Amino acid sequence: MTTDTTEPTRFCRSLRASLTEAERHLWYRLRDRRLAGFKFVRQESIGRYVAAFCCREARLIVEVDGGQHAESEHDRLRDAWLKDQGYRVLRFWNAEVMSNTAGVLDTILAALPPSPRKRGEGRAPFVGGEASPKGEGEGAMTDETPPATPPHPRLPPRFADNKVGKTLSPQAGRGGEHT
């Protein structure tokens, strides 16, 4: 079986295979719906341009740039065209992604609409650490009370009585009490 791929498809595949270290670092945090449940794709072809990371649902593009992009006329024209198509473009320097990842993720999260998920759904924890800007979605308080956590089958219940402190090793005991 042969598949005849187009030149743009081959180009996007080659870009996905050759991510920069900063792009790889950010992609690890965006992939697999890890950022508040939003799906990002990498090296998305949009018109004649290729977006580094794109959340189609939110029409948000995230670019990670090296020094060659400083004051780039091409990037300015590209961003204007993408904006005309209804996309928002966020640009971060490679060094910023590597040294301030949490700040970059917070900025991306602030540009996204409230998450459709409630806290605890899915596999990844909430990255920003706070509720969404409108108090909905990821991090929002629900009316339901969470179920009680079942006790661990091999450990005594914590602080149920004074016997617990005696069952702990001296290093894990309570403060200076050693018996």
Residue range(s) defining the domain that contains residue 58 = 7-111
**Domain-located, residue 65:** yes
**Domain-located, residue 76:** yes
Give the pLDDT score at 19: 83
Lowest mean pLDDT among 87-91, 138-142, 153-157: 153-157
**Domain-located, residue 105:** yes
**Domain-located, residue 86:** yes
Q: Is the pTM of this model over 0.75?
A: no
**Domain-located, residue 162:** no
Lowest mean pLDDT among 3-12, 84-93, 109-118: 3-12
Higher per-residue pLDDT: 174 or 107: 107
The domain tally of the chain equals 1
What one-character DSSP code corresponds to residue 38? Answer: B
How far is the C-alpha of 74 from the C-alpha of 84, rounded, in Å?
Answer: 15
Q: What is the CATH number of the domain that holds 77?
A: 3.40.960.10
**Domain-located, residue 118:** no
Half-sphere exposure in the Cβ direction for 133 (13 Å, CA): 9
What tokens were used for 74? 């091409």
Contact by Cβ (8 Å): 90, 60: yes
Phi first, then psi, for residue 17 (nearest 5°) are: -80, -15
Q: How far is CA 77 from CA 52, 98, 105, 136, in A?
A: 16, 27, 25, 35
Higher per-residue pLDDT: 179 or 54: 54
Q: What angle do CA 79, 81, 85 make, to 5 degrees?
A: 110
Contact by Cβ (8 Å): 63, 90: yes
